[in-house]
Structure 1
């Protein structure tokens, strides 16, 4: 029986050796940071126009995280590639032969992928926050302000959950091309469109990306159906479900 630490070490070696997974994590950091800095600077220079007619106080934290949607794309791709590369190359057969305990194998994969995503996401969230506040000048906020530290940590948790959700979907589908073909349109086309359609938005508000991204807000709109912690919990439940169904498929089907 393979020991979990040994399996996790093996998974770490696999991910570290694949350049595409490393580059997607770097892209998640750079895209989130650069867009957040640029839009924070634009907001500072056009503050009166940006805040005109707003029903909630100006959210300096949310402004700094304006680029997180594109950062999501990179982190989703990382989650898919970290799992899907083994299926596309056929190496999953070797992995399953070396570690017949499929639950242990999936747990090790999830631990390594989640740990890497969380580490990168924490760095991304805090660097982006401080850089964004520097660009906002007199309109900036601080970590000590109510709700700000929670929002910054939530940004890191949110990206990590999306990464693990994508990994779980890839195990479920056993095909990285199919996983990307479903996840990218879902997160970046279907979910944003449905969230503003009157008859569909009540359903879309419980999608993992929309729900999780509510936790990044410092000020909650009056018409929002739930608070930041509930939103993060909804995202976590989607992630747990994806990993669970992925595990059931991995148990019952050969590579």
Structure 2
């Protein structure tokens, strides 16, 4: 460096109170350190820490589910179908001397049709995220994939349970005034079993469909497979059951057949343990099979979800 450049640098730097020239590099370093420290000090600390927890994951899933228009549309359709069919058949039975003694139990006659819509709801909640790309944001917020899946399962299961239980209550309320004294009382613990039993059966179907959604990542694929397992496959098996006994036993393992053990917990409509029918299992065995229909797809979905990219 030339003598002229050194003198210019010294002349542009103000002297200290003692008359000495300050060190330029140290002055610049102090100025560089001071700015970020001020910014950090000005930023308020978050008292909650914003730590990602399981409770927050469940809350986030509920916020997403309730903000979707499809959630409310499918929920209202499921309730409407279940109530209209259940109440209508119950009122019709009450007006017929031949079926009047079965009128009170007929409020659950629309359950299978409501379960179709609940299956659609369970699939949409996860496949909609894949189709829109929202799943990447979900994983950014909840990197632990097992936690995300369980949070979704809890929200879906609780929502489906409420839909099922509310549908049964509304079917009873809509039909009781028109049943000419054949309506049962909700004060009866066995009759109240229709309410929580229907809720559990709706939750199981919704979880099965959610698991299929995790497996297939496709709305059309998940709904098609769910409908096949619930209804379509029953037709060829029923035809085969006319000739082969093993087909009749296979029919007894279908989701909607085993669901009866759950939404009719006190065997008002079906008697289990009949050797020569599709109800050949004991009720507790059928309930376990129905639970497997919900748990196995979810477990398989979790295995693939934990290993595949979003």
In which range does the TM-score fall when normalised by the shorter chain?
Answer: 0.7 to 0.9
Work out the CA distance in 1 between the residues paired with 2:256 and 2:231: 9
Query: Partner of 1:253 in structure 2?
Result: 308
SS of match in other structure, 2:109 = coil
Displacement of 1:108 in angstroms is 0.7
Work out the CA distance in 2 between the residues paired with 1:236 and 1:151: 18
Displacement of 1:240 in angstroms is 1.1
Point out the more displaced range, 129-138 or 148-157: 129-138
Question: Normalising by structure 2, what TM-score?
Answer: 0.73
Work out the CA distance in 2 between the residues paired with 1:228 and 1:152: 18
Q: Confirm or deny that 1:182 pairs with 2:240.
A: no
Q: May I ask how many residue pairs the two structures share in their alignment?
A: 248
Displacement of 1:41 in angstroms is 1.8
Q: Confirm or deny that 1:88 pairs with 2:131.
A: yes
Query: Partner of 1:3 in structure 2?
Result: 53
Structure 1 91/208 Cα, relative in aligned 2: closer, same or farther at 3 Å?
same
Q: Confirm or deny that 1:210 pairs with 2:257.
A: yes
Question: Normalising by structure 1, what TM-score?
Answer: 0.88
Q: Confirm or deny that 1:35 pairs with 2:78.
A: no
1:106-129 alpha-carbon deviations (Å, 9 max, x no partner): 011111111111122221122223
CA RMSD of aligned residues (A): 2.2
Q: 2:299 aligns with which of 236, 244, 249?
A: 244
Point out the more displaced range, 153-162 or 216-225: 216-225
Work out the CA distance in 2 between the residues paired with 1:79 and 1:201: 29
Contact 2:104 2:182 in 1 (8 A): no
Work out the CA distance in 1 between the residues paired with 2:169 and 2:188: 15
Contact 2:123 2:219 in 1 (8 A): yes
Contact 1:195 1:205 in 2 (8 A): no
Work out the CA distance in 1 between the residues paired with 2:251 and 2:177: 34
Displacement of 1:138 in angstroms is 3.0
Q: Confirm or deny that 1:165 pairs with 2:208.
A: yes
Query: Partner of 2:170 in structure 1?
Result: 127
Structure 1 16/211 Cα, relative in aligned 2: closer, same or farther at 3 Å?
same
List gaps (5 residues or longer) in structure 2.
1-50
SS of match in other structure, 1:22 = helix
Displacement of 1:146 in angstroms is 7.2
Q: Confirm or deny that 1:60 pairs with 2:110.
A: no
Point out the more displaced range, 174-183 or 192-201: 192-201
Displacement of 1:182 in angstroms is 1.3
SS of match in other structure, 2:181 = helix
Structure 1 116/101 Cα, relative in aligned 2: closer, same or farther at 3 Å?
same
Structure ranking higher on relative contact order (CA contacts 8 Å, 6+ apart): 1
Structure of larger gyration radius: 2
Work out the CA distance in 1 between the residues paired with 2:237 and 2:180: 35
SS of match in other structure, 1:14 = helix
Query: Partner of 2:148 in structure 1?
Result: 105
